[in-house]
Amino acid sequence: MDNSAFSYVLDQCPLPIEILDDAGVLLYANPYFPLYFSQDYQQFLGKPSPSLSLPADENWWEQAKQVPLWRCPVRIPRDPGLFIDTLTVFPLVPEAGVPLYIVVHADTTQEVIREEAARREQGIALIRSRQAQMGDLLSLIAHEWRQPLTLINSLVGNVQLKTELGSLDQDYLREKLDKITATVQSLSQTIDTFRGFYTSLGTAKRQNLCELATRAVNLLKSNFQKKGIHVDLEFSAEDIPLYGFAGEILQAILEILQNAGDAFAEQDMGRPRINLTASTQNGKALLLIENNGGAIAPAIFPKIFDPYVSSKGENAGLGLYMAKMIVEDFHDGQLSVSCHDDWTSFLLEFPQEDVNAHNGS
């Protein structure tokens, strides 16, 4: 190539560029081209370009010459590992009329690395959020178990005392044993309620949105009762199916419920209420979670799902951000928020198409 303005521009381009003739012979390569090949690229001048040997679509060079603009991802073997590259080919017709072709190499390796790093960060955020939920739920389990365990201990103590005094009769023993059995069953039900929450993603299965919403409310029931929060559940059907991960959907619902509890804690509410309504519409499973803990401030509203930003603009962790990620990234759904008067509403939408496709699950 001559020292024209055109070749000067190509030399300054930060992307590797080569110019080939119709047979794929390398006529020119800019200074960035050697970055892609460990060999001395000068040896290829006047010979078939090394790009022709890169793995891409079969007969990619012949295909590239047939269209005005051709683009295809390829993998370039280099140490260390593989580089991801995108070849872009377009024709150049000089005054001589002999067709030439410009081949631009766009290295997308760093973009792929950034995407993988983002996915790792997303996974770490999920783990941290689950750990925070674990601490909260373990506290709830301890609270739920403390009274039954105290009752069992008291019943055993009464039986032991009667035995030592020699006044234990069969009816009294049977009564106390029945109470102990009922209390143990209550403890077992508590375990069943929490079971599955810490299950890893695994394989998506058919879920019942009504059951998951009920489980979430039951997990927080005693805590809400202690705070005077009244919870109403309304389902349009007993079974509203969707296809997904039970533990993650449960976590998303819990995050929103706990966010409502936090909103009530920030103000003196006469009658704090949370309403959950599950229904179906246009092929979607819907769960509407409303609370009368006050409307979100307009300045905070656009940032409601940002990490570490609460509905009041405070550093409150990953709660609502994680809920949105679970609904939208894990289940191809949508999580939105709206306000009316003193009510804040979160709408979880899950597609139901996959349910019909996996009826056997």
Q: Are 266 and 281 in contact (CB under 8 A)?
A: no
**In the predicted model, is pLDDT for residue 118 greater than 50?**
yes
Q: Say how many C-beta atoms besides its own lie within 10 A of residue 200's C-beta.
A: 8
What pLDDT score does 15 carry?
Answer: 76
Q: Say how many C-beta atoms besides its own lie within 10 A of residue 269's C-beta.
A: 18
**Smallest Cα–Cα separation from 87: which of 1, 12, 16, 35?**
16
Q: Are 105 and 15 in contact (CB under 8 A)?
A: yes
Q: Are 10 and 17 in contact (CB under 8 A)?
A: yes
Query: Reading across the β-sheet that carries 230-235, which strands appear in turn?
Result: 230-235, 273-281, 284-291, 343-351, 334-340
Percent of the chain with pLDDT over 90: 17
pLDDT digits (tens, 9 = 90+) for 264-279: 877 766 789 999 999 9
pTM of the model: 0.52
Q: Determine how β-strand 273-281 pairs with β-strand 230-235.
A: parallel
Q: What is the DSSP string of 160-213?
A: HHHHHHT---HHHHHHHHHHHHHHHHHHHHHHHHHTTTT--S-S-EEEEHHHHH
The larger pLDDT score, comparing residue 171 to residue 140, is at: 171
Q: Are 27 and 41 in contact (CB under 8 A)?
A: no
Asked which of 13-27, 103-117, 340-354 is least confident by mean pLDDT, the reply is 103-117
Residue with tokens 């609370």: 291
pLDDT digits (tens, 9 = 90+) for 193-241: 566 555 545 567 899 999 999 988 987 887 788 888 999 999 999 999 9
What pLDDT score does 260 carry?
Answer: 87
Q: Say how many C-beta atoms besides its own lie within 10 A of residue 303's C-beta.
A: 15
pLDDT band at residue 63 using 50, 70 and 90 as cut-offs? confident
**Smallest Cα–Cα separation from 249: which of 261, 240, 238, 260?**
240
Tell me what the mean pLDDT of segment 158-162 comes to. 89
Dist CA 200 CA 193 (whole Å): 17
Residues 6+ apart with CB under 8 A from 158: 176
Beta strands, E only, 93-213: 100-107, 205-208
